[in-house]
Amino acid sequence: MKKPTVSKSLALLLAAPLLALPGAASASGSRPMNPPTAAQEKQTPEQEAVELYNDGIGYRDKAAQFEKEAAAEPDAKKREKLEAKAKDKHLDSIKKFDKATQKNPNLFQAWGSLGYAYRKTGDYNAALKAYNRALEIQPNYTPAIEYRAEAYLGLNQLDDVQVAYINLFNHDRPRADELATAIDKYLEKKKADPSGVDAAKLEEFTKWAQSRKQLAAQTSSVLKPAHERW
C-alpha cells in the first residue's frame, strides 16, 4: 500500500513520539505533537490539523484525570459525577479529532485517537470505523490494533479479538499484554453477566485466553514495540 504523502514540516512533527492512552496517557494512542512554526501568516491544512489534534489530546488527558479520580472515589454519587465529567471531555475531544481528520485525512494518529474517544463513550461501531481508517493509512499502527480489539470486546466479537492478540503478540508484546489485561476484565465481567455472547463461545474463548496467558508467561518479549506506548 502506498504511504500517504505529507508535507516536510508535518513529517518532522510525526517523527516525534505520539498518541498518549494506557493509563490514560497511554489509553488513546499518541502524545501531543509539536505546535506548527509560528512565523507563517496562514497555516496549511496540515498545520491546522496538528493544532486541532493537540487540542483533542488536551481534552483526552482531562478525561483521563477524571477517570482516575472516579476509580479512586468510594462515594457512588461522586463517582458518577466524575465519570460524567470524563465522558463530557471525551465528547469534546471527538469534535477536535474529527475536525483534524477533515483538515488532514491522512493523519492516522487523529483517526486512532478519534476511535479511542468513541470507544470510551460507548460508540463501538464508530470507534471501529475510525480505527479501521487509521490502519488503512498505517497498517502497523499497533495502538489502533490494540484499542480496536477492545472495541471488539465491547461488541463480543471474540474471533476478531483473537486475531488482534496474535498480531500484537508477534509484533508488539507490551500491547499484547495490555490487550490480555482487557480480556481478563472482560471475562470477569461476563462471569457476572454473560448476556450478549453464546455460552459455548464464551467458554471456548476463556480456555483460549488461559492458554495464551500460559504461553506469554513462558516466553520473554523479544520484539520492541513498533510505536511508543501511550
Domain match, 121 and 50 both: yes
Domain match, 42 and 129 both: yes
What pLDDT was estimated at residue 38? 55
What does the DSSP assignment read for 55-76?
HHHHHHHHHHHHHHHHHT--SH
Domain C-terminal end among 95, 114, 138: 138
Q: Which amino acid is at 8?
A: K
Distance of CA 135 to the CA centre of its chain: 12
Domain match, 36 and 51 both: yes
The total of other beta-carbon atoms located within 10 Å of residue 154's CB is 17
Number of domains in the chain: 2
Domain match, 201 and 226 both: yes
Residue written as cell 513462558?
A: 218
118 is a domain residue: yes
For the chain, the first-to-last Cα distance in angstroms comes to: 26
Domain span at 29: 19-138
Q: Choose among 145, 150, 32: nearest CA to 97.
A: 32
What pLDDT was estimated at residue 120? 96
41 is a domain residue: yes
Domain match, 74 and 118 both: yes
Domain C-terminal end among 138, 163, 188: 138
148 is a domain residue: yes
Q: Choose among 174, 161, 106: nearest CA to 128.
A: 161
What is d(CA 106, CA 4) in angstroms, rounded to the nearest whole number? Answer: 6
Domain match, 202 and 148 both: yes
Q: Which residues contact 138 (CB under 8 A, 6 or more apart)?
A: 108, 144
From first to last of the 230 residues of the chain, give the pLDDT tens digit. 444 444 444 443 443 334 433 333 344 456 677 665 555 568 999 999 999 999 999 999 999 999 999 999 999 999 999 999 999 999 999 999 999 999 999 999 999 999 999 999 999 999 999 999 999 999 999 999 999 999 999 999 999 999 999 999 999 999 999 999 999 999 999 999 999 999 999 999 999 999 999 999 888 644 444 444 44
144 is a domain residue: yes
Domain C-terminal end among 122, 138, 154: 138
Buried b (16+ CB within 10 A) or exposed e, 101-112: bebbebbbbbbb
33 is a domain residue: yes
Q: What is the pTM of this model?
A: 0.77
SS3 content of the chain, % helix, strand, coil (to 5): 70, 5, 30
For residue 127, the domain's CATH number is 1.25.40.10
The total of other beta-carbon atoms located within 10 Å of residue 83's CB is 17
What is d(CA 123, CA 4) in angstroms, rounded to the nearest whole number? Answer: 28
Cα-Cα-Cα-Cα dihedral sign, residues 94, 132, 43, 13: positive
The total number of residues shown for the chain amounts to 230
12 is a domain residue: no
Distance of CA 191 to the CA centre of its chain: 25
